């Protein structure tokens, strides 16, 4: 396989995300990264990464404080190359039970909900990811999850599911947007292979 281009891997700092682990994953693939500081960089970049650690509300506040919400919404709407991780997937939805009253980017219909009470929360550890037919980027395998909230559908998108008490959306793709509830940067060879496919997309 060819080495991915090192020219554009723009990472959005939200104030809550663990950027070091994300940057380390790209470094393993021989790809340089840079951290966004202005909204214009999001519009200009060929590839954008939205990492995820923290709550729905704190992540949205971090995006809003830097003026990132509008260019991110436009980018995702257009299906331009964007990779989101964990709560980065969740903020693409309209709202979350985790942070009542906080609006998400609203690029996908629906509200992020909590796992049912009869399963351990948060979900920590490895879980099987099973994509539906027709996915370009998403493949079957095991990925690392750390989440208390989840979505059960992503209308208009190709999805992969996992099970934790019930089926939930492990990831989805729309155009060149790939949104992962799991942490690809912490998912070993499986996660690195996904990032590589997205970079080469």
From the list 137, 128, 149, 131, the residue with the least C-alpha distance to 174 is: 137
CA nearest neighbour of 54 among 23, 12, 24: 12
pLDDT at 125: 96
Q: Is the pLDDT of residue 4 over 50?
A: no
As a whole number of angstroms, the distance between CA 70 and CA 103 comes to 13
Question: Does the pLDDT value for residue 17 go beyond 50?
Answer: yes
pLDDT of residue 101: 97
DSSP conformational letter for 181: S
For 7-34, what is the mean pLDDT?
A: 88
Exposed, middle or buried, 160 (CB in 10 Å: 0-12/13-18/19+)? buried
Question: Is 185 known to be catalytic?
Answer: yes
- From the candidates 64, 74, 183, 200, which is the catalytic residue? 183
At 16 the pLDDT is: 66
User: Each residue of 23-70: pLDDT tens digit?
Assistant: 999 999 999 999 999 999 999 999 999 998 889 999 999 999 999 999
Alpha helices in 66-109 (DSSP H): 69-77, 87-90
Which is the catalytic residue, given 86, 157, 173, 174? 86
Give φ, ψ of 86 to 5 degrees.
55, -115
Confidence of residue 1 (pLDDT cuts 50, 70, 90): very low
- Could you tell me if 122 and 147 are in contact, meaning their C-beta atoms sit under 8 angstroms apart? yes
Contact 114, 97 (CB under 8 A): yes
Q: So what's the pLDDT on residue 164?
A: 97
CB 151 within 8 A of CB 164: no
**Catalytic annotation, pick one of 70, 180, 185, 200:** 185
Residues near 99 by beta carbon (within 8 Å), at least 6 away in sequence? 55, 56, 57, 58, 60
Confirm whether 183 is a catalytic residue: yes
With 90 as the cut, is the pLDDT of residue 15 above it?
no
- What domains can you pick out in the chain, each with its CATH number? 10-200 (3.40.50.880)
Cβ contact 37:15 at 8 Å: no
Of the pLDDT bands very low, low, confident and very high (cuts 50, 70, 90), residue 5 is very low
Nearest to 188 by CA among 142, 155, 150, 149: 142
Cα torsion angle, 48, 67, 93, 80, sign: negative
pLDDT above 50 for 178: yes
pLDDT at 7: 54
Percentage of the residues of the chain whose pLDDT score is greater than 90: 90
């Amino acid at each position: 396989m060819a080495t991915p281009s090192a020219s554009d891997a723009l990472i959005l700092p939200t104030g809550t995300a663990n950027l070091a682990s994300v940057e380390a994953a790209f470094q393993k693939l021989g790809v340089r990264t840079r951290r966004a500081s202005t909204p214009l960089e999001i519009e200009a970049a060929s590839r954008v990464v939205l990492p995820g650690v923290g709550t729905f509300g704190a992540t949205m506040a971090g995006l809003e404080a830097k003026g990132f919400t509008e260019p991110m919404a436009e980018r995702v709407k257009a299906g331009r190359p964007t990779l989101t991780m964990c709560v980065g997937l969740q903020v693409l939805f309209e709202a979350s039970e985790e942070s009542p009253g906080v609006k998400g980017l609203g690029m996908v219909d629906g509200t992020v909900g909590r796992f049912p009470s009869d399963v351990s929360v948060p979900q920590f550890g490895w879980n099987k990811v099973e994509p539906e037919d027709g996915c370009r980027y998403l493949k079957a395998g095991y990925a690392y999850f750390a989440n208390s909230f989840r979505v059960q559908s992503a209308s208009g998108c190709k999805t992969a599911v996992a099970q934790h008490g019930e089926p939930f959306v492990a990831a989805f793709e729309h155009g060149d947007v790939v949104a992962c509830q799991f942490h690809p940067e912490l998912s070993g060879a499986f996660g690195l292979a996904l990032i590589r496919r997205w970079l080469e997309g």
